[in-house]
């Protein structure tokens, strides 16, 4: 299981707000797919998936403020579409 964490999008970034998930639990995602939009203190950023697999568990939802490095979702790397 791969842990998706809140990315650090700038040197001073300590937390980010999840604006929107573009995928749902149970969706098969591929590397490079836009999966989430995160608001930093400076901008709204669309984030691409770094891996391919089945999105098993979204642990943090829209409007939640999450510290950098905290797990926001789990992806099953062994699943097939």
> What is the set of domains in the chain, with CATH numbers?
2-76 (2.40.50.100)
Burial of 24: CB neighbours in 10 Å, binned 0-12, 13-18, 19+: exposed
> 79 falls in which pLDDT band (50, 70, 90)?
confident
Count of Cβ atoms closer than 10 Å to residue 65 Cβ: 11
> 80 falls in which pLDDT band (50, 70, 90)?
confident
Question: What predicted TM-score, i.e. pTM, was given to this entire model?
Answer: 0.89
pLDDT tens for each residue of 28-70: 999 999 999 999 988 899 999 999 999 999 999 999 999 999 9
35 neighbors 50 (Cβ within 8 angstroms)? no
Q: Whose structure tokens read 């939802």? A: 61
Count of Cβ atoms closer than 10 Å to residue 11 Cβ: 5
Name beta bridge partners: 28: 54
pLDDT value of residue 11: 86
């Amino acid at each position: 299981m791969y842990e998706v964490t809140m990315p650090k999008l700038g040197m001073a970034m300590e937390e980010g707000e999840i604006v929107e998930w573009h995928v749902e639990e149970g969706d098969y995602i591929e590397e490079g797919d836009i999966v989430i939009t995160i608001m930093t203190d400076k901008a709204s950023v669309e984030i691409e998936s770094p891996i391919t697999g089945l999105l098993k568990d979204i642990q943090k939802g829209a409007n939640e403020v999450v510290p950098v490095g905290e797990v926001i979702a789990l992806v099953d790397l062994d699943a097939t579409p």
